[in-house]
């Protein structure tokens, strides 16, 4: 069946990934996360089913997720910005360290064995699910100095690009701790997902130019599988506005619990695959 899916051609593949994008656009808009926590496990499953080399699957899922997140994060950030949900000074302070961290994190991911990377992702995802279920809001403290903001931004960017997410699950708690309102924290995290995704996906693309030994499937550019990038980005661009609307109209606690259940299942899959 996997081989049949590949042989069906790029248009059929585009339709498959368009559907995946429609699904992941909702949490991207709701939580400012770009959908990566859902995308990566789904792509690992799909790429495995399609018969991709096991040494290629996890990095390809993460690189493809970041590539698809670029337009998704743009659409999500625009939606939050129109509703006054982006705190521009916070975005400016985190921008440079986040780009530095994302570049380093993506480079590290390319060096790690795929199975180990999958386990790292699974542990992180389950930890985020437990945090969401606990509904613990980080205590607000006097705003930290530049060094703390730079260290936090570098760490957020590195972890995000390492596992293929836009960083909202890390950026949002940090901004809450700095005294930002919940919806401003979410909107600002969505905006900062853009540089994370761009810097990270460029690094995952580099093996196509620098590593002649890389045996990538057709329609791939480095660790970016182009039909998936295009289809997911298009689908998410359609549905992300619905997620933004939900974020501003539904109870936050209900959203957190529903999303936590999805993350728990996805994290277990990544650990046990």
Q: What confidence tens digit (pLDDT) does each residue in 68-110 have?
A: 888 877 877 887 788 787 889 999 999 999 999 999 999 999 8
Residues in the chain: 273
Check residue 1 and give its pLDDT.
Answer: 42
Check residue 236 and give its pLDDT.
Answer: 82
Give the predicted TM-score (pTM) of the model: 0.83
In order, the DSSP letters of 49-80 are HTT--HHHHHHHHHHHHHHHHHHHHHHHHHHH
- Closest by Cα among 2, 79, 94, 100 to 34: 79
Check residue 3 and give its pLDDT.
Answer: 46
Which carries the bigger pLDDT value, residue 60 or residue 73? 60
Phi, psi (degrees; rounded to nearest 5) at 33: -105, -5
User: Inter-axis angle of helices 182-205 and 54-82, to 10 degrees?
Assistant: 140
* Average pLDDT, integer, range 30-40: 71
Which residues are CB-contacts of 82 (< 8 A; sequence separation ≥ 6)? none
Which carries the bigger pLDDT value, residue 8 or residue 242? 242
Share of the chain above pLDDT 90, in %: 25
Task: Output the average pLDDT for the chain.
Answer: 82
Q: How confident is the model at residue 173 (pLDDT cuts 50, 70, 90)?
A: confident
Which carries the bigger pLDDT value, residue 242 or residue 104? 104
**In the numeric block, which tokens belong to residue 66?**
């970041």
* Average pLDDT, integer, range 226-251: 81
* Average pLDDT, integer, range 216-243: 85
Check residue 149 and give its pLDDT.
Answer: 94
Per-residue pLDDT of 116-159, as tens digits, reads: 888 898 888 888 888 777 766 666 666 778 899 999 999 999 99
What are the beta bridge partners of residue 220? 225
- Residue 42: pLDDT over 60: yes
Q: Where are the domains of the chain?
A: 13-272
Q: How confident is the model at residue 25 (pLDDT cuts 50, 70, 90)?
A: confident
**In the numeric block, which tokens belong to residue 27?**
């949490």
How far apart are alpha carbons 127 and 117 in whole angstroms?
Answer: 15
């Amino acid at each position: 069946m996997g081989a049949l899916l590949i042989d069906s051609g790029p248009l059929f593949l585009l339709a498959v990934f368009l559907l995946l994008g429609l699904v992941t656009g909702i949490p991207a808009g709701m939580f400012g996360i770009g959908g990566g926590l859902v995308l990566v496990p789904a792509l690992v499953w799909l790429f495995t089913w399609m018969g991709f080399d096991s040494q290629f699957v996890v990095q390809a899922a993460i690189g493809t997720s970041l590539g698809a997140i670029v337009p998704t994060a743009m659409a999500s950030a625009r939606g939050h910005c129109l509703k006054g949900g982006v705190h521009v000074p916070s975005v400016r302070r985190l921008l440079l360290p986040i780009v530095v961290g994302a570049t380093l994190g993506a480079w590290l991911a390319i060096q790690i064995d795929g199975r180990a990377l999958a386990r790292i992702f699974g542990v992180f995802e389950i930890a985020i699910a437990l945090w969401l279920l606990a509904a613990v809001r980080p205590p607000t403290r006097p705003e930290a100095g530049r060094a703390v903001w730079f260290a936090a931004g570098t760490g957020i960017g590195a972890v995000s690009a390492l596992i293929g997410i836009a960083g909202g699950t890390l950026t949002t708690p940090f901004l809450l701790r700095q005294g930002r309102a919940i919806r401003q924290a979410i909107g600002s995290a969505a905006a900062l997902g853009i540089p994370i995704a761009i810097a990270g996906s460029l690094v995952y693309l580099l093996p196509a130019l620098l590593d002649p030994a890389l045996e990538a499937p057709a329609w791939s550019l480095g660790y970016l599988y182009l039909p998936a990038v295009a289809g997911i980005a298009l689908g998410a661009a359609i549905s992300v506005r619905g997620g933004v609307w939900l974020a501003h109209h539904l109870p936050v606690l209900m959203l957190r619990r529903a999303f936590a259940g999805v993350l728990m299942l996805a994290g277990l899959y990544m650990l046990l695959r």
